[in-house]
Chains A and B, each alone.
Chain A
């Protein structure tokens, strides 16, 4: 009897410890970034693009990287969304019938999920060279979409799998076609979860540097078309940190604060949207 109680408290302590460790790490990272970044963060940084020699300590800001990152991540996420939702629905049993092809698709997605993003970058780079295209916004968007697809698809698939079979049967029994059932019933029920999947992928996309290192390039200008090279926040942070100049290095932290705020804002917006639809779902 006593031993069981000790056992219980040991495991409880372990769980609390892991919680403290995880939340602590997050707070620590955010704290360091805010502490070092906030004092340097200025109005100029978010409203001006880099002037020539920005990385050498000259004036300007990183508006080019902010806009570039938003373009890249939004473009990649939108592209990935259309492909992922189709794959996720296909992977459901009523569509693919649990065939070997669907198993293979799932396996590929899992492997792609685990693939380091620099590999995506290198792959994208080879493709760009093959087609004689320069590093551009379009190249970055495509590579980011590839990076996001496994994450988004697997998240969506799980959500769709959770939709109760009763709901589908109900829709069918009312005479709905498979498409109507999918769109108007399954889609509605899964909507909050699908949004979360999109958010996860967006977060991964906007924070990734390696995949767009070779494919999107870097420039001080805001891209005017899909075929222009574009700057991005992760690479801006990387380049600023790699300079030997302390005043530029500090700006890397300010850039990190901006990146953090963007991710947080998108996260909150998605959650609010999801909440609006959660009202209707059947538990």
Chain B
């Protein structure tokens, strides 16, 4: 078993009376990538914000429990928050360059932590930009504003800026959700390289990303810790039904759709009858995708299908008028 970097004990967080995290206890291994997965609003980002105490910036929030990093409790009043934050780099969801030049962005961290010598700063800037693969792209315009970079470059700059503080841990809050696929891939590759020197905690609602990156997985659902363990175990053999459902549910995009029926222009209950006919022609366990534009059908068709014992895989709005309903025929 590997060493533990962050030990979370009985963590509870309440926002405006709503419990965002309920009694979470989990250990995050050192020099591995730990993915926190779960649907939106389940407390993933809150958990990250607790680790670097950015939770302090939120109004009406109370928290209890312990988060131990290097024998120090993050929540302890005696703990120096500045020191904790120095240890934990953060890569936010949206790239957040600071209002200064590319060079100054990377030098910001070392500067506030007391590095004054220009040669040392120069070396740090070059090293961190090289690690994130940005050096070659920006070395000739280090003094131009960081906001002029592309979104993908900005995110890599943010990663470099975080590394310049020399953290032990990198927290990533859905770091690729604002990026295009190529930039996302870039960031992912860098995280994989960085894990030999850093402990990485990544929050993601992209299950594929978690599978590609994670060594350890924590599954949260509505503020509860559902399951945690080595990535292979959790993904291939989830102990909990909810984890299985989540993995399958978000994997739906890969699901083979056996038949697609366009029921636009049909009103209830005819669309239901047509859907049943379509389903009738399929064999057991096959998947049918319906497209409807009747608001009534959006609720009534899934309800009727479920009453007949079929499984509703997803119901989602695809544009202003149309909805997509995916049904799996009962076994």
Contacts and interface: CB of A to CB of B under 8 A. Distances in A.
Interface of A: 94, 164-177, 180, 184-185, 188-189, 279-283
Chain A contact residues: helix, strand, loop or mixed: helix
Contacts of B158: 170
Contacts of A279: 145
Given A174-B112, A174-B161, A175-B165, A280 B57 contact: no
Contacts, number: 80
Interface stretch (B20-28, B94-102, B127-135, B310-318): B94-102
Interface in B71-108: 82-83, 85-86, 88-90, 92, 94, 96-101, 108
B82 A167 contact: no
A168 B57 CA distance: 10
Chain B: number of interface residues, binned into ranges: 20 to 34
A94 B57 contact: yes
A87 to B, nearest CB: 22
Given A188-B99, A281-B147, 11 more contacts: A170-B92, A172-B54, A173-B162, A174-B162, A175-B112, A176-B112, A177-B82, A184-B112, A185-B98, A282-B97, A282-B99
Interface in B97-152: 97-101, 108-109, 112-113, 145-147
Contact of B57 (A172, A185, A281): A172
**Those 8 A-B pairs whose CB atoms lie nearest each other, nearest first:** A173-B90, A175-B86, A189-B99, A175-B85, A170-B96, A166-B96, A174-B109, A280-B145
A205 B99 CA distance: 31
Interface of B: 52, 54, 57, 82-83, 85-86, 88-90, 92, 94, 96-101, 108-109, 112-113, 145-147, 158, 161-162, 165
A167 B99 contact: yes
B124 to A, nearest CB: 13
A166 B91 CA distance: 11
Contacts of A169: 54, 57, 90, 92, 96
Contacts of B92: 166, 169-170, 173
Nearest to A181: B112
Nearest to B154: A282
A185 B98 CA distance: 7
